[in-house]
Structure 1
Amino acid sequence: MPEFHAQVIDPSIPAAELLKQQSSLSKQQIKQAMKKGAVWISDADSSHKRLRRVDKILKIGQQLHLYYDAQILGLQVDAAVLIADEGDYSVWYKPYGMLSQGSKWGDHCTINRWVEQNHPPQRPAFIVNRLDRAAQGLMLIAHTKSAASALSGLFERRAINKKYTALVSGSFPKELILDTAIDEKNALSKASLLAYESNTNKSLVCIEIETGRKHQIRKHLSGAGFPIIGDRLYGPDVDESSVNLCLVSTYLAFNCPITGLDKSYRLKDDYLPQVG
């Protein structure tokens, strides 16, 4: 994946033109990459941030960086759905494939960038909690740095009640406590049966987690013999490439650190995987 870097010597030369001189790309390609978060600018003090404005006035000594991957820049995702707007923050449904965090190669497929561009009135958007790219469900997006800090603190103190719904293979028991360590760290998940369909031998399961290890739910359920349908990392060696991961963050409840009010959000059943 090609990278292009350019030193600003003549500030009268626009960023797109300067990067065009360093690459074989057209100005239009560079402008699109800039819009999608693949162009960065760094100063002598080592600050490094995305550059989106084509008309930004450059300074001598700055450096431009273009990380161009046509495949990444060509990715598209389904729209996020607004669940609740609380002013200082909002609650969204993140669809399959949308990212919680961008990279130097772009951020146009991240939920915070999507919210910034599509949620009127236009406001900053800061990630509070994260979901895997393959997972779906509720995410909190803060619109001020102070709200982001306060809400993130709730997750750090485990002061948020979170529930997930998963469609798994097999006949799940009524309740199951999963406490197998993950990456040599304690991990605890509690799962309960919501529904079972004998014709498909699939179970709909509600999961609550006491810890937040990477891929905790996916690893715990697979390790217990109930892999999540569509899990291409921890599921069985069968071709289910046409099935998305059936794991959804369905419920969030907490005492709002901004208003002091108890808040709870639950996804409608329309967003849940079907057991039959």
Structure 2
Amino acid sequence: MRLICNMTEVIISKWKHAPFVAEKKRLQEGAIGQFSALPSRKSVKKAIINGRFYVKGKVATTATLVAIGDKIYLKQEVINTEIECRITDIENKNKDVIWEDEYCACVVKRGGIITKGNHKVTLEKTYSNILYKSNLKDSFITPIAIHRLDKATHGPVIFAKTLTAAGILSEAFSKREIIKNYIALVADTPMFSKATIQIKIDDKEAISEVEVVGSTNWPIYGTASLVKVNPKTGRTHQIRRHLAISGHPIVGDYLYGKTNKYTGQGLFLACTGLVFNHPITGEGIKIEVDLPRKFKHIIHKLSLY
């Protein structure tokens, strides 16, 4: 459980009221005991009627269905404390913030930093006081990262500033409506110029489209190739695992790579772009970011720029 602005967030890990094996429940049943302040059906129903529950970015009703793993938000009844937020001049003070408005933002995550979670240093915590706070009614205390990139991966990350924007963006990711483009340097020279890798990961459907940009000589491996990757699904380490299974692991991948290791500059994988619709206005947004410096040598050798 955590407090977000005037909302308390809970991820349903188990039912706390019978029946305990139900696949889904109405909110007035499923929320019983999930919040310490709402231990009974009566207290949950009262909160729903008063419009204090939000599910998937929308005000919930007694008919709203929830399942294990869903996030539910409870609006606090009384808030007397004003929260001071430091508004920073983004343009002058942080070049890694590439776009933001009242609803959301996009930040470049450098390789080596964790996106979010229970860690001392994360991208989400770092930008909690750098991104400016939204003044909208359903705004979070601090913006939240909507998706993750591997710790070693460089690329753009979308932040939501309001509950509504978070719900719409999360749903867009789950429905595969957000296009993600990656560049990777892989071992050896693939026999294909384009390929669709469709191999299950953790017994779940996983699809990655791969296109070879060029190949050149490279230490340890003999040759290495620059590839574009468009993942159609979002499984854990999907790109790394698919490329390794294809026989061309990413250079610097100590987890899925070959026994001969390239001890250069870490994992040669970067997300270079995102294409999505603004969660509120519906405007088409295309985010493009430069490759990290470690790709400079391969880019020069292939005369791409």
- 8 Å contact from structure 1 (residues 80, 114) kept in 2: no
- 8 Å contact from structure 1 (residues 189, 208) kept in 2: yes
**CA deviation after TM superposition for structure 1 residue 246, in Å:** 1.0
Measure the CA separation in 2 of the matches of 1:98 and 1:245.
13
Measure the CA separation in 2 of the matches of 1:114 and 1:158.
28
Q: Considering only aligned residues, what root-mean-square deviation do their CA atoms show, in Å?
A: 2.5
- 8 Å contact from structure 1 (residues 102, 109) kept in 2: no
SS where residue 127 of structure 2 aligns? helix
Where structure 1 has 5 or more consecutive residues not aligned to the other structure, the ranges are 1-42, 47-78
Measure the CA separation in 2 of the matches of 1:228 and 1:270.
15
Aligned: 1:112 with 2:134: no
Pairing of 1:1-276 with structure 2 (within 5 A): 81-103=96-118, 107-120=119-132, 124-172=142-190, 173-198=192-217, 201-269=223-291, 273-274=295-296, 275=298, 276=301
- 8 Å contact from structure 1 (residues 95, 137) kept in 2: yes
Measure the CA separation in 2 of the matches of 1:45 and 1:80.
43
Amino acid at match of 1:165: I
Q: CA offsets, 1:193-226, max 9 Å, x none?
A: 1222135511111101111111110000001111
Measure the CA separation in 2 of the matches of 1:114 and 1:199.
36
With the length of structure 2 as denominator, give the TM-score of the two structures. 0.60
- 8 Å contact from structure 2 (residues 116, 125) kept in 1: no
Tell me the matched-pair count.
200
**CA deviation after TM superposition for structure 1 residue 248, in Å:** 0.8
- 8 Å contact from structure 1 (residues 248, 272) kept in 2: no
- 8 Å contact from structure 1 (residues 88, 147) kept in 2: yes
SS where residue 116 of structure 1 aligns? coil
Amino acid at match of 2:200: A
Measure the CA separation in 1 of the matches of 2:294 and 2:181.
13
SS where residue 228 of structure 1 aligns? coil
Identify the residue that residue 53 of structure 2 maps to in structure 1. none
Q: CA offsets, 1:212-255, max 9 Å, x none?
A: 11111000000111110111100112343443111111111112
- 8 Å contact from structure 1 (residues 165, 272) kept in 2: no
Amino acid at match of 1:161: I
Amino acid at match of 1:117: N
Measure the CA separation in 1 of the matches of 2:275 and 2:101.
14
SS where residue 142 of structure 2 aligns? coil
- 8 Å contact from structure 1 (residues 166, 273) kept in 2: no
Write out the 4+ residue segments of structure 1 that deviate beyond 6 Å after TM superposition: none
- 8 Å contact from structure 1 (residues 179, 187) kept in 2: yes
Where structure 2 has 5 or more consecutive residues not aligned to the other structure, the ranges are 1-34, 39-93, 135-140
Identify the residue that residue 74 of structure 1 maps to in structure 2. none
Change (3 A) 1:227 1:128: same
